[in-house]
Structure 1
Amino acid sequence: MELDKIVLNRKERKLLNKINFLTDYGNKRLIKAEIVTSQPEFDLYYFYQLRNYGLVETHHYPEPEESYHYRPDNGIASTQKGLHYNDWHWEHLRQFLYRSVTVPIIISIIANLVILVVKHFYK
């Protein structure tokens, strides 16, 4: 899923920031799942949302004897999209404010100046 289509709510952003903090923003690539699940921000629903968006990924730690029984995911890492989500979010907000606020204000100021000049010269 592209970043343009991803809108995180407050709890998802908080959990993503916590995972990024725990992975030291990508320097420690993989952390134990118990560390993340013990955080007060952790909620399984929001974690699965982040995973479905591709912002975090789960892995298995290697075991010496590979067996064919079910193993839960025991390693969590932020993806590159997850590490840079906040940068993208602020850039997107800046562009939105420029297009939606700044440009209309500048246009209205120019229109008012034109009206004043026209009124002044054609009196």
Structure 2
Amino acid sequence: MELDSTVLNRKEKKLLNKIIFLSKITPHKLVSTDLIKQQPEYDKYYFYQLRSFGLINTYHLTEPNEKAHWRPDNGTYVTEKGLHYKDWYWEHLRQFLYKSVMTPIAISLLTNLVLYLLEKHPK
């Protein structure tokens, strides 16, 4: 899923921030999924939403002496998209404000100035 179409709600942002925080204090930036589930910000739906957006991902370790057996979700890490989501969000907000707020204000000011000058100096 492209980052341009990814918009997180408040609870998803809180969960992502918590996972980023936990990944910074754990070795290899790999957080135990059980540790994430113990956090008050954890909600299964939002966790899977973050994973489907590609902001986090799960890592599976093999069982000792059994190469074919995988344990489900024993580690979670933040992807590059997840690490830079805030930067993208503020850049997207700045562009939105420029296009949606500043451009109409500038056009309105220019139009009013032209009308004022035409009224003040009639032919």
**What TM-score comes out, normalization by structure 1 length?**
0.90
% identical equivalent positions = 57
Shift of 1:9: 1.1
Q: Return 5+ residue gaps in structure 1 as ranges.
A: none
Counterpart of 1:66 in structure 2 is 66
Give 3-state SS (helix, strand or coil) of 1:40's partner.
coil
CA distance in 2, matches of 1:58, 1:90: 27
Question: Does 2:89 match 1:89?
Answer: yes
Counterpart of 1:99 in structure 2 is 99
Give the number of equivalent residue pairs: 123
CA distance in 1, matches of 2:111, 2:39: 54
Q: Which has the higher contact order (CA 8 A, sep 6+)?
A: 1
Question: Does 2:12 match 1:12?
Answer: yes
Q: Return 5+ residue gaps in structure 2 as ranges.
A: none
**What TM-score comes out, normalization by structure 2 length?**
0.90
CA RMSD of aligned residues (A): 2.0
- Give 1 or 2: higher helix fraction: 2
Please identify runs of 4+ aligned residues in structure 1 that moved more than 3 A: 25-28, 67-70
Kept after mapping to 1: 8 A contact 2:29/2:77: yes
